């Protein structure tokens, strides 16, 4: 199999994780690490016996695809260098520092015919992948993502730090344009950044999503519920578990209730509801999300008919939705200090 020459831009935490996966993938020939801190680049490159550099232009003729895992403010500048030199790019989420820069990256990708993916790895969570296989048409989605304060990403609020994951997943499930957004949020640790936020998103196809994110919780929780005509889904990202209560197999349960509810001596308190329901535990594999993400990216690089798990357009859509949520948050005058990050 012909291998794709890969590199990681940024030798920080995420760059280190991407480097490990690139080195393991059979379709990847991991050739370089680039970081403005030469020592960090050298240390990471030495682990995998590849080239280290402080300058992206040094590797342009050595690579076919790169992952950019650097501070968000540098995404556009770095993406431009590689896209214009016919190198495919994966960019760690969010796509760019703001919507305007995100649109520039999307236009660059289209103009140059390059594959550009966005690292929304939660889309590759095995629970989300299991839901994708069910092919449901959601009418209501409820997502909750809360955790104790992590003391990272203090330069952004909880919407761009945590909620952005669920925004991307909700947009992929709803598969419709946004009609309306209403949100509330407040900063507790820092006045100028929201630490907790709730948003209600209404889509043109009638689907409604309610999403909550907080970094002030006492414990970590990542759950989503989906109501659809086909099934009711309850999913736990952390436990990598989920159940589906499908409509068709439960018609018998409804029939049994109707037949017995008017019977003499019928006591509904003695009925075990769970015994009547057809509950299906979702078939969830345990593949590493980042590996799934990178395999899809490299697959799209090799075959133009394929798409990465999250495209640049989808990454931009998540950003645009996030900024609509932040705009709604700012409308609540009781929290005027929430910063305008658009």
Could you report the per-residue pLDDT of 181-193, keeping only the tens digit for each? 999 999 888 777 8
Tell me: do 170 and 254 sit in the same domain. yes
CA distance 259 to 85: 70
The CATH number for 102's domain is 3.40.50.720
pLDDT mean over 172-176: 94
Could you report the per-residue pLDDT of 12-69, keeping only the tens digit for each? 999 999 999 999 999 999 999 999 999 999 999 999 999 999 999 999 999 999 999 9
Tell me: do 8 and 107 sit in the same domain. yes
- With respect to residue 314, please indicate whether it lies within any of the assigned structural domains: no
Percent over 90 (pLDDT), the chain? 68
- Total-model pTM: 0.85
Domains in the chain, number = 2
β-sheet bridge partners, residue 42: none
pLDDT of residue 240: 86
**Minimal CA–CA distance to 218: which of 237, 196, 234?**
196
Helix/strand/coil for 22:
helix
> What's the CA angle centered on 326, arms 324 and 329, to 5 degrees?
115
Q: Give yes or no for a contact between 214 and 158, defined as CB atoms under 8 angstroms apart.
A: yes
Tell whether the model's pLDDT for residue 335 goes beyond 50: no
**Token digits of residue 278:** 């057809």
pLDDT of residue 201: 98
β-sheet bridge partners, residue 232: 227, 245
**Minimal CA–CA distance to 118: which of 253, 316, 268?**
316
Tell whether the model's pLDDT for residue 77 goes beyond 60: yes
More confident position, 14 or 230: 14
Question: Domain residues for 62?
Answer: 4-120+289-296
């Amino acid at each position: 199999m012909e291998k794709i020459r890969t590199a990681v831009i940024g030798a920080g935490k995420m760059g280190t994780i991407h480097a490990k996966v690139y080195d393991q993938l059979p379709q990847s020939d991991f050739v370089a690490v680039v970081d403005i801190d030469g020592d960090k680049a050298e240390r990471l490159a030495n682990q995998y016996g590849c080239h280290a550099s402080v300058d992206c232009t040094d590797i342009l003729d050595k690579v076919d695809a790169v992952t950019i895992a650097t501070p968000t403010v540098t995404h556009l500048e770095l993406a431009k260098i590689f896209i214009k030199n016919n190198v495919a790019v994966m960019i760690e989420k969010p796509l760019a520092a703001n919507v305007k820069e995100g649109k520039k990256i999307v236009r660059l990708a289209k103009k140059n015919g390059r594959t550009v993916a966005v690292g929304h790895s939660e889309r590759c969570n095995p629970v989300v992948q299991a839901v994708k296989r069910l092919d449901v048409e959601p009418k209501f989605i409820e997502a909750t993502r809360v955790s104790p304060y992590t003391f990272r990403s203090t330069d952004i609020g909880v919407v761009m730090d945590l909620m952005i994951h669920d925004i991307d997943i909700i947009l992929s499930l709803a598969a419709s344009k946004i009609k309306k957004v209403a949100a509330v949020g407040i900063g507790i640790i820092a006045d100028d950044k929201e630490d907790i936020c709730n948003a209600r998103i209404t889509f043109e196809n009638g689907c409604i999503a309610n999403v909550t994110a907080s970094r002030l919780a006492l414990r970590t929780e990542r759950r989503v519920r989906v109501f659809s005509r086909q099934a009711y889904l309850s999913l736990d990202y952390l436990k990598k578990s989920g159940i589906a209560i499908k409509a068709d197999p439960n018609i018998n349960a409804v029939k049994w209730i109707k037949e017995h509810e008017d019977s003499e001596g019928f006591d509904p308190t003695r009925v075990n509801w769970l015994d009547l329901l057809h509950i299906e535990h979702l078939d969830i594999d345990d593949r590493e999300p980042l590996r799934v993400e990178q395999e899809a990216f490299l697959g799209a690089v090799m075959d133009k008919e394929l798409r990465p798990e999250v495209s640049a357009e989808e990454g931009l859509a998540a950003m645009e939705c996030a900024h609509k949520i932040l705009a709604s948050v700012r409308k609540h005058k009781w929290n005027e200090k929430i910063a305008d990050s658009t």
